[in-house]
Amino acid sequence: MEEVTCFSPAKINLGLEIIGRREDGYHDLVTLFQSIALYDKIIFKIREDGKILLSGNDPQIPWDQNNLVFRAVEVLRKRTGTKHGVEIFVEKNIPPGRGLGGGSSNAAVTLLALNQLWETGLGRLPLTSVAAEIGSDVPFFLTGGLCLGLGRGEQIKSLPEQRKWWVLLVLPDFSVSTALAYQEYDRLGLSLTSTDKESKIIQFLETKDISLIRYFKNDLEAVALRIYPQLAEIKQEIKRSGAELSLMSGSGSALFGLFFEEPEARSAAARLAVRYRTRVVATVNNEEYKRKLGTGASPNW
């Protein structure tokens, strides 16, 4: 029986600007995705009886048709017409519902691994369109590293790494629903970022001026901080500990601080660990990302 083990890395959004509301209910974004060294592990075993078996070590996650990994298997089977089956086990380390993209990453790694195991041979473009059908964040995880995300987040442009950051993650004990965060954003009538004038992300891409990173924002933060005031306290504490940037990732609930040096990040983490769950991880560039996926999932593009 053929079997492969892959790592499935998390992400943070270094910035997330909402620039438009769309007819299809989604929002147009300008965002910067950044891979980080926090990984789930996934084991794939090919099955010739056509069955899809999915399980994992976290009982709070549904290991059924609602799981993005299951959706990835089904959509890839439909798109390619293959009759192969698979048994998948996910060892979770990325906390779900925290804006760190764990589910989307698992789905993307599943597409990459099965495209090899099943020998379905999809190239980058068709695989990206399958990924976008599963979720807005899934295409990013086919590439990894530092990427600009446009559209609903599914249009990805790989960017050269500017520098390695040390990331302090603060992980609240509650999760936030992405759909609800965007709904609340609309309900509260929060104003959109107008790209040409205001976007610090666009200015950063044009000038490569890394000091602009201090001004990056996440438009969903205002929503989450209103619902969960303790997030505002965490943000302030991360700022006070000397981070270059203190921000929420995605739709939350995780917040992060960016530090130039590891010891600074670790001492900030030690201070915050008295009250919160924390992790310190490095950012991961595009080459490290591909290596980390493992030979079973690393794409040849």
Q: Which residues are catalytic?
A: 11, 137
E strands, 51-92, in order: 52-56, 85-91
- For residues 95 and 174, the answer to whether their CB atoms sit within 8 Å is no
The alpha carbon torsion through 126, 131, 137, 142 (nearest 10 deg) reads -70
- For residues 153 and 83, the answer to whether their CB atoms sit within 8 Å is no
**175 binding ligand C5P? (CB under 6 A):** no
Kindly tell me which of 183 and 295 has the beta carbon lying closer to ligand C5P. 183
User: What number of chain residues touch ligand C5P (CB under 6 A)?
Assistant: 12
- For residues 69 and 90, the answer to whether their CB atoms sit within 8 Å is yes
Binding flags for ligand C5P, 99-138, as an x/- string (CB under 6 A):
------------------------------------xxx-
Classify 41 as helix, strand or coil: strand
Give the pair of three-digit tokens for residue 267. 């001492």
Out of 29, 42, 112, 168, the residue judged to bind ligand C5P by CB under 6 A: 29
Which one of 22-30, 224-232, 241-249, 269-277 is the stretch in contact with ligand C5P (CB under 6 A)?
Answer: 22-30
Which one of 24-32, 36-44, 57-65, 292-300 is the stretch in contact with ligand C5P (CB under 6 A)?
Answer: 24-32
H or E element, residue 215: none
**11 binding ligand C5P? (CB under 6 A):** no
Helices and strands, number each (H, E), in the chain: 11, 10
**250 binding ligand C5P? (CB under 6 A):** no
Kindly tell me which of 137 and 264 has the beta carbon lying closer to ligand C5P. 137
**222-241 residues near ligand C5P, rule: CB under 6 A:** none
Q: Please, what is the minimum distance in Å from the beta carbon of residue 102 to ligand C5P?
A: 12
Q: Please, what is the minimum distance in Å from the beta carbon of residue 11 to ligand C5P?
A: 13
Kindly tell me which of 23 and 173 has the beta carbon lying closer to ligand C5P. 23
Q: Which residue has the tokens 């379905």?
A: 120
Cα three-residue angle 127-114-106, rounded to 5 degrees: 80
**89 binding ligand C5P? (CB under 6 A):** no
Burial category of 49 from C-beta neighbours within 10 Å (exposed 0-12, middle 13-18, buried 19 and up): exposed
CB atoms within 10 A of CB 34: 25
Out of 39, 182, 204, 256, the residue judged to bind ligand C5P by CB under 6 A: 182
- Give the bridge partners for 77, in sequence order: none
Which one of 25-33, 108-116, 195-203, 232-240 is the stretch in contact with ligand C5P (CB under 6 A)?
Answer: 25-33
Q: Which residues bind ligand C5P (CB under 6 A)?
A: 25-27, 29, 135-137, 152-153, 178-179, 182
